[in-house]
Structure 1
């Protein structure tokens, strides 16, 4: 396997540090618009293993599909791993196919609101642009694995595992994400600093969240697409008690890829995603929206064209740098409700917790980006060994969950030494 990874930000850097411990790939090209950032990732990841020479730094414009294809072809890439924010999904996606490579990402092509009823009806949904090309990828004999981070990604794997092994009927697949993370300034005072891309946080949290319901699809004659509908941002708050000392966190509906993927491969009555944003972040997001600072279209400021959202992201700390000042844990999981294999009602939370103290000590990466990065690396290893295979455009739930979860949890060096757990509710 020869991998072209595009993006040397927090997640890309963590992925390189994780991957360098493994033997399943021949070459890992780390490419970024900022060559110096790619070079830094290559140097620091390579230093983790004596004699390491498989990592190469390169420069690329992720917005240019021809440039992506050219770089992939130059290095004979068999797989293109997209580790940048979702506005670059489509050019990287197209570039991979043009180069004859398989593709993997952690976030899908962007949505567009319904022009008349944005808080009731969907319009262009997350991933629609990619899923529409499934035939092209199948004809080319290539695989595009979408949403293979932690959420989406590991959450979808959990859903597949629960559907196959724990439940005979699923009423709801409810992804629930929460944390007790805190970031401190140089004087030890708690400060605001998001754990991952602020650009992406604004995108997914201010967009109308999507829910899927089987009843709506059946009412439309079995049309799966008719089962999707939207709600206002931050709808239906609930307090969810997260495990391993995190405790109760208020969670709200957020637009997320799981809801767009799970109904396509799994059998459930309802699919939802709720995220523990916290009162402070919700207030900040509402204020940004009110001021128009969530906009992506450029505005002219003293003769210079700038995107308000890019400015907001630029003035906040880089998520890759806040690890030493962060404390706490983050939890990703799926609450599955329905009927167990024994015919009795069952509510099971399948989850994975990442502790910032541990990820900083072992990888020099803060826990949010590390937890996101480990899953695509596991998936790439399964693809390299042929345990997962296929063609077309697919989500993680299209594949057998057991090999993934076993490899993730197995102690090093056989596995990744990152256990997951279940909790009956």
Structure 2
């Protein structure tokens, strides 16, 4: 997996010529985070200047270490270098190097880490008045300790190694022994909170700060669907996007 849109945008012209529509990022982030930004631009802002996408999972699944979705993708995403956009340039940081406490509604303050997330590429392109765009995600210290150990002992590697005459990829082996994300929901408690914090010039010409977000309860999500809130907030937007596509509401040729 490439955690960027450029290699998919390379197909844009071919999709346009074929009259085909490809939708990139239709979960929550990316997905709803882009819709929130577009909504803010349409209804509240004359110009957007800063965008911070903030993603907090304040839930507890009772496991020593587990990822909320595909461990291979999750661990690779977290351990890559951070990147954010400022004044027309992309600035790179060390993995989880930049962090600070942010306060989330109904949850309170949580240490939040700057990461690279692919929707930043699309948002600064489509909303060119944005001067700075960043993505933040929360992690507990126990989670980060396990992650450091996984890296230090080589289990986050994605290159093949030989074991008993068989070629294996350490991260894929780790995925096989970690808890299955689909089975975390039953005892999951707490909430997720994901949103966009935007500042700029409002429709009235005055400085404006705007925060649009969603909170989702793990237990309520499980009662409704049998899945925890991370899966719920990913799946509902994907289903909604598919419905809009098949109804012809989202059907512009291109990528």
Aligned with 2:241: secondary structure? helix
1:195 maps to 68
Partner of 1:254: 115
Superposition pairs of residues 384-423 of structure 1, within 5 angstroms? 384-393=246-255
Q: 2:192 aligns with which of 330, 333, 353?
A: 330
Rounded to whole Å, the distance in 2 between the matches of 1:179 and 1:202 is 16
What is the CA deviation profile of residues 70-126 of structure 1, one whole-angstrom value per residue up to 9, with x for unaligned ones? Answer: xxxxxxxxxxxxxxxxx3xxxxxxxxxxxxxxxxxxxxxx05xxxxxxxxxxxxxx1
Partner of 1:316: 178
Q: 2:65·2:146 contact (CA, 8 Å) conserved in 1?
A: no
- What corresponds to 2:94 in structure 1? 232
Q: What aligned pairs does 1:84-163 form with structure 2 within 5 A after superposition?
A: 87=1, 110-111=2-3, 126-163=4-41
**Mapped contact 1:258–1:273 kept (Cα < 8 A):** no
Measured in 2, the distance between the counterparts of 1:338 and 1:287 equals 41
Shift of 1:183: 1.1
Cross-structure match for 1:7:
none
Corresponding residue number in structure 2 for 1:175: 53
For this pair of structures, how many residues does the alignment match? 254
Write the distance in 2 (CA, Å) between the matches of 1:315 and 1:151: 27
| Aligned-partner Cα distance in 2 for 1:348–1:173 | 10
Runs of 4+ in 1 over 3 A off after TM superposition: none
Alignment of 1:251-330 (within 5 A): 251-267=112-128, 268-330=130-192
Q: How many angstroms apart in 2 are the aligned matches of 1:139 and 1:387? A: 20
Q: What is the TM-score when the length of structure 1 is the normalising length?
A: 0.58
Range that drifts further, 279-288 or 199-208: 279-288
Aligned to 2:77: 204
Counterpart residue number, 1:90: none
Distance (Å, rounded) in 1 between the aligned partners of 2:168 and 2:133? 37
SS of the residue corresponding to residue 368 of structure 1 reads helix
Matched residue SS, 1:365: coil
* Residues 1:350 and 2:212 aligned together: yes
The answer to whether the 8 Å contact 2:80/2:95 transfers is yes
Q: Secondary structure at the match of 1:210?
A: strand
**1:371 to partner: Cα distance:** 0.7
| 1:7-50 Cα deviation digits (max 9, x unpaired) | xxxxxxxxxxxxxxxxxxxxxxxxxxxxxxxxxxxxxxxxxxxx
TM-score, normalization: structure 2? 0.95
* Worse-superposed segment, 140-149 or 356-365: 356-365
**Cα pair 1:183 1:192 within 8 Å, conserved:** no
Q: Which of 330, 336, 339 in structure 1 is aligned with 2:201?
A: 339
CA–CA distance in 2 between the matches of 1:246 and 1:196?
Answer: 22
- Provide Cα deviations, 1:291-319, integer angstroms capped at 9, x if missing partner: 22111111111111111111221111110
With a CA cutoff of 8 Å and minimum separation of 6, indicate the structure with the bigger relative contact order.
Answer: 2
Q: Secondary structure at the match of 2:54?
A: strand
Q: Please tell me whether the aligned partners of residues 56 and 104 of structure 2 are also in contact (alpha carbons under 8 angstroms).
A: yes
Asked which structure has the greater CA Rg, the reply is 1
Question: Aligned residue for 1:80?
Answer: none
Partner of 1:378: 240
Unaligned runs of 5+ in 2: none
Q: Provide the rounded CA distance (Å) in 1 between the counterparts of 2:209 and 2:176.
A: 42
